[in-house]
Chain A
Amino acid sequence: MIDIRGVSKSYGPKIAVQGLDLHVPAGELFAFLGPNGAGKTTTIKMLCGLLFPTQGSVRVGGFDLFADGDQARTLISYVPDQPFLYEKLTGREFLQFTADLYAMPSGKASDKIDEVIELFHLDDFVDDLTERYSHGMRQRTVFAAALVHEPKLLIADEPTVGLDPKSIRELKTLLRRLAASGTTVFLSTHTLDIAQELADRIGIIDHGRLLGCGTMRDLQKLASSDGNLEDLFLKITEEAATEPEPAVSGLVG
């Protein structure tokens, strides 16, 4: 589903991502980890077609984000860390707008809207204007809108921020269920427990370079450690900080 080849991205003189190669197949839940400023958000923005690589190519579902971006974006849903909602729309109207934008047939859209309202427990406030929502309510509404059109790829940047423990539990179950049903989930997070618990594979990025990528076992092998993800993450990023070149090659991709 995701095919990133030789991607580099520069902001003026600053290189945010360099030489990134990554392939994520359909139905995989992939966790993308890295310290602040490592290049995670830039990579995500390139995956959504918001930014374009300085070098290399990004494809989603076989469509190049630069050449066929409009087609690629019909397959993608993006839940940013700071969710956007139209303040003067109700939650239901926002869901309807999203369904219309993705050209869903009206009958199907109506059913899906009811389904996601129930799934994210929006009933109590879905007909209020979103300007009155708390952060958690906004986050749940944005998630509902992201899933209303049944995307092939769900990209979520820090999805648990602002959610209560019950909602986090439900979100984790939902993400696993989505992956099991064939949706690719690309998750960027600092919450390492969630990544360890949910992800099929984990990628660690720092200073724009992919330091390691694979299953927990692969990462343990790479770090020569049997520790949990927190130990592995710290070890890999600290080791990479002392090395001039990328730490690994065999496990990347």
Chain B
Amino acid sequence: MTAELPAQLPGLADQAGVFRRLRTRLLRNGLRVALDHGRTRLITMLASSVFVFAFTFAVGLYLFTQLAKANVPFKGAIVEALFDLMFFTLGSMLVFSTGLILFASLFNSPESRYLLCSPARADRIFATKFQAAVAFSSWGFVILGIPVFLAFGIVSGVPWYFYALLPAFLLGYVLLPGSVSATLCLLLARYMPQNRKQVLIVVALVMVVVASIWMYRVGIGLKKTFNTGGRELDELIGRFDMLRSGFAPSHWMTRGVMAAARDDLRGALIPLAQVWSNGLVLYVLAAWVARRVYRTAYDRIAGGGRGKKVYGTHFLDRVMETLVFYLDKRTRVLVVKDFRTFRRDPTQWAVLILFGILMLFGASNFRQYYSAGLAVMDRYAVSLMNLSGTAIMLCAGLSRFVFPLISLEGRKFWVLGLTPLSRDQILWGKFVFAATGALVIGELLILVSDALLGLPWQGMLLHAIIMAVVAVGLAGLNVGLGAYLPTFKETDPSKIVVGFGGTVNMVAGLGFLVMIIGLMAVPLHTAQLARGAANVDKAVSLWVYAGVPIGVLLGVVAVVLSLRFGARSLRGMEF
């Protein structure tokens, strides 16, 4: 029993209204600042989004036109299977991305700490954070999803309401993985035993590996179907059994979208209602879980896992230091510091390892196919896909982990600013760290996968040169633009990446890749493919290598210009 009677309480606030007004004000003020002081930034960001939208639309249009040429029925089982696969893949990705963003914003952000000390209800704080996390993780899904379906609609000829229903379908769908992810995130934070981080990573990796292997098998099935006249169609469809059940949200989406495409409005509205109602129910469930466990979960996260782990020098640190032996001692120290931070965060390198395993696994499987005389895919086509995949993985990885490096120094920048190192050395150190890491990973992946595919040495040499240009060029772009367009106020790297600077960097990186691969790799691969198709034995012309020096020059220009702009910006930075 208490010694005092409870004090008199003020009335209850309409917290939903309070937070709605807060969001409106934040949005209005943010837009006003963007229009008054950052018009160039706003326009660049919009232009980048339009570019991504247009690029996706063009790719979608091309692919659907190819399907039309292959006489694949647009509103039939194969396209349905493709959509099932796409929705399932995007949904799975949204589970992970929303979960990661939500975890950081619920348990590590100063705003959450502030709100948890106020009378704001736990479920209300959760709702605010959930909406922001879903918006952050899903904008890409909407920006990429709409052009794909627009392309589908244009090529296949659909009624007008197909286009009108698209946003409703896509927006409703993001609620489902978002809510599932939020519930899991809260329950894991609340009930997971100590060293939860390792357990979480292992669970996530296992789930991703299982999903990826399944998707890979489906991919093989699809390719076989297109190449053998559809005999394996039943086998392929069989792989989608799990996704085609009435319980799979990805299939509700497919059913609804396909029904709209077939001019069956009723058939489209029922799955739409299914998506929204289930999404909302799951959201309410997540909010209920938040109301019950968020505060105690916060307490657990803040209070747990502080065992006395002794951190020391690892042999990998010495390997890194050896790799950059040509630098002066002080810059080497900086490089090793960045590397140490990287290796102590398993979420960073786990994705790279996973991608590498999948790619090598894929390469060895393709080799088995044409060794067995199936000749499903030409080795040059597959190796070009591997090269592009590795390059895109490096682009995404560097954008996620290297671009925010300067921004993350943030308010601690004075620590580096006051060291006897010049600002140029700091930038140079980060560039060398990024370039070395990207080179080692990129070259290893591409050369091993080329060897597994049995590519001739000329092809492997060309790939090694291309990968070097890509790795060093992307490292320069990411470090340079990271210094030129920093976001010192943001502490969450995932938000820095999707901010203005991050978007510009991503678009610049992808543009760079398209140019390098287009100039340096595509001519040889096209010539070899044509040679294979014509079944001639003549060697390819040396002209296919004409783009190589231009690509190398482009790489040098990208590095020099980015680092020069970045260094100038860093030198002028006050702290």
Residues on A close to B: CB < 8 A?
1, 3, 9-14, 23, 45, 48-52, 54, 59, 61-63, 68-71, 73-76, 78, 80, 82, 84, 86-90, 93, 97-98, 100-104, 129, 131, 149, 152
Contact = CB atoms under 8 A, between A and B. Distances in A.
A3 B113 contact: no
B278 interface: no
A71 B9 CA distance: 7
A123 to B, nearest CB: 20
Contacts of A100: 13, 17-18, 21
Q: Which 6 A-B pairs have the closest CB atoms?
A: A61-B7, A103-B13, A62-B6, A84-B114, A48-B117, A12-B306
Given A52-B296, A89-B26, A61 B10 contact: no
Nearest to B21: A100
A20 to B, nearest CB: 16
Nearest to A52: B299
Contacts of A129: 29, 33
Contacts of B308: 13
A10 B306 CA distance: 10
Contact of A61 (B6, B194, B307): B6
17 contacts: A10-B303, A12-B303, A12-B304, A23-B3, A49-B116, A50-B116, A54-B303, A61-B4, A88-B25, A89-B25, A89-B26, A89-B29, A97-B25, A100-B21, A101-B119, A103-B14, A149-B10
B4 A1 contact: yes
A81 to B, nearest CB: 12
B117 A50 contact: yes
A73 B118 contact: yes
B373 interface: no
B296 to A, nearest CB: 7
A92 to B, nearest CB: 11
A74 B9 CA distance: 7
Contacts of B111: 84, 86
Contacts of B306: 11-14
A102 B13 contact: yes
Given A12-B306, A86-B22, A89-B29, A3 B118 contact: no
Contacts of A69: 295
Contacts of B12: 103
Contacts of B526: none
A146 to B, nearest CB: 10
Residue from the set A50, A80, A86, A98 with the largest chain B CB neighbour count within 10 Å: A50
Contact of B113 (A75, A84, A89): A84
A111 B14 CA distance: 20
Contact of B307 (A12, A82, A89, A101): A12
Contacts of B299: 50-52
B419 interface: no
A120 to B, nearest CB: 18
Nearest to B26: A88
A59 B6 CA distance: 10
Residue from the set B3, B296, B298, B489 with the largest chain A CB neighbour count within 10 Å: B3
Contacts of A87: 489
B76 interface: no
B15 interface: yes
Contacts of B119: 70-71, 73-74, 101-102
Nearest to A9: B303
Given A88-B33, A101-B15, A129-B33, A76 B117 contact: yes
B26 A75 contact: no
A100 B19 CA distance: 9
Residue from the set B25, B26, B29, B118 with the largest chain A CB neighbour count within 10 Å: B118
Contacts, number: 125
Contacts of B296: 52
A14 B40 CA distance: 51
Contacts of A103: 10-14
A100 B110 CA distance: 20
A87 B27 CA distance: 11
Contacts of A90: 29
B341 interface: no
Contacts of A104: 10
A49 B307 contact: no
Given A61-B4, A102-B10, 18 more contacts: A1-B4, A1-B7, A9-B303, A11-B304, A12-B306, A13-B307, A50-B298, A61-B6, A63-B7, A70-B121, A71-B119, A80-B114, A97-B21, A100-B13, A100-B18, A101-B118, A101-B120, A149-B10
Contacts of A76: 117
A84 B9 contact: no
Contact of A49 (B22, B30, B110, B117): B117
Interface string B527-556: 000000000000000000000000000000
B77 interface: no
Contacts of A152: 7
A8 to B, nearest CB: 12
Nearest to A85: B114
A48 to B, nearest CB: 4
Contact of A62 (B4, B302, B489): B4
Contacts of B305: 12
B282 to A, nearest CB: 25
A54 B489 CA distance: 35
A71 B194 CA distance: 31
Contacts of A13: 306-308
Interface string B184-214: 0000000000100000000000000000000
B5 interface: yes
A74 B13 CA distance: 10
A62 B5 contact: yes
B458 interface: no
A12 B194 contact: yes
B47 to A, nearest CB: 23
Nearest to B116: A50
A14 B33 CA distance: 46
B2 interface: yes
A80 B307 CA distance: 26
B129 to A, nearest CB: 14
Residue from the set B5, B17, B117 with the largest chain A CB neighbour count within 10 Å: B117
Contacts of B11: 103
B110 A84 contact: yes
Contacts of B18: 97, 100-101
A51 B303 contact: yes
Contacts of A9: 303
A75 B30 CA distance: 32
A207 B435 CA distance: 47
